[in-house]
């Protein structure tokens, strides 16, 4: 439950309030989920300003799309996906700066198949070859930032089983990436 003043909001009330453009519900949703979204984004960037910008843009996307939330799965998981996609968009838009900085830091020759040919789509393609449960555990843990306890609860398995699926997924991904992209593994 989110608290604003003396009012406590359930997820359903937050969604309904935000869909109705209620500023109190929007602030309650923002305050409730901002810390968790920041933790997720900070896994990918060390720059505080960039992380705040990405999370704020992600939260704006959440507010614009809140009317599409179908109450299937957790509200936090749905929001994580939107914020994660916002982060991917940010890095895609700013990749020319990152590419320039990376090249400046290294005086080594670039392999024949350079980093520019290693796209997010390639990673998702390799992930899609994993067994379905290992694939889901990997996505929830590595991409969406869920803990093993949360994954276990969502997928009705023990925390240890979740860890096993993640370990199996990582090993299979490592093997597949070594075959397709040996210069980077």
Residue 164: give its domain's CATH number.
1.10.10.10
Q: Looking at the structure, tell me whether residues 147 and 177 fall in a common domain.
A: yes
Q: Report pLDDT for 109.
A: 44
User: Is beta strand 7-9 parallel, antiparallel or unpaired with respect to 2-4?
Assistant: antiparallel
- List, as own/partner pairs, every contact residues 77-82 make where C-beta atoms lie below 8 angstroms and the sequence separation is at least 24, other chains included: 77/144, 77/146, 77/154, 79/33, 79/37, 80/36, 80/37, 80/40, 80/144, 80/145, 81/144, 82/58
pLDDT digits (tens, 9 = 90+) for 99-158: 444 434 444 444 444 444 456 666 777 788 888 898 889 888 888 888 889 899 989 999
Q: Token pair for residue 79?
A: 């929001």
How many other CB atoms sit within 10 Å of the CB of residue 58? 26
**Domain residue limits at 126:** 111-184
Cα–Cα distance list, 37 to 82, 135, 150, 167, 173 (Å): 10, 22, 15, 25, 26
Per-residue confidence band for 17, with pLDDT thresholds at 50, 70 and 90: very high
- Domains identified in the chain, total number: 2
Q: Token pair for residue 60?
A: 């704006």
How confident is the prediction for the chain on average, in pLDDT? 81
pLDDT digits (tens, 9 = 90+) for 143-163: 888 888 989 998 999 999 999
* Residue spans of beta strands (DSSP E) within the chain: 2-4, 7-9
pTM value is 0.50
Q: Looking at the structure, tell me whether residues 119 and 38 fall in a common domain.
A: no
Percent of the chain whose predicted confidence (pLDDT) is above 70: 78
How many other CB atoms sit within 10 Å of the CB of residue 18? 24
How far is it, in rounded angstroms, from Cα 108 to Cα 179? 22
Q: Looking at the structure, tell me whether residues 8 and 60 fall in a common domain.
A: yes
In a domain, 40, yes or no: yes
Q: The domain that contains 26 carries what CATH number?
A: 1.10.1740.10
Of 66, 93, 120, the domain-final residue: 93
In a domain, 100, yes or no: no
Residue 177 has pLDDT above 60, yes or no: yes
């Amino acid at each position: 439950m989110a608290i604003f003043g003396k009012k406590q909001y359930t997820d359903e009330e937050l969604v309904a309030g935000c869909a109705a453009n209620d500023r109190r519900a929007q602030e309650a949703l923002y305050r409730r989920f901002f810390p968790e979204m920041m933790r997720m984004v900070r896994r990918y960037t060390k720059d505080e300003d960039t992380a705040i910008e990405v999370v704020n843009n992600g939260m704006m996307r959440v507010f614009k799309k809140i009317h599409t939330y179908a109450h299937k799965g957790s509200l936090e998981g749905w929001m994580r996906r939107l914020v994660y996609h916002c982060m991917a968009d940010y890095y895609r838009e700013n990749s020319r700066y990152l590419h320039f900085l990376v090249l400046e830091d290294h005086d080594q020759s670039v392999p024949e198949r350079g980093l520019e040919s290693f796209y997010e789509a390639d990673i998702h393609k390799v992930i899609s070859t994993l067994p379905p449960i290992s694939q889901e555990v990997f996505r929830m843990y590595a991409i969406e930032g869920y803990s093993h306890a949360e994954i276990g609860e969502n997928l009705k398995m023990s925390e240890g089983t979740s860890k096993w699926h993640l370990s199996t997924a990582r090993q299979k991904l490592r093997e597949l990436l070594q075959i397709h992209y040996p210069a980077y593994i």
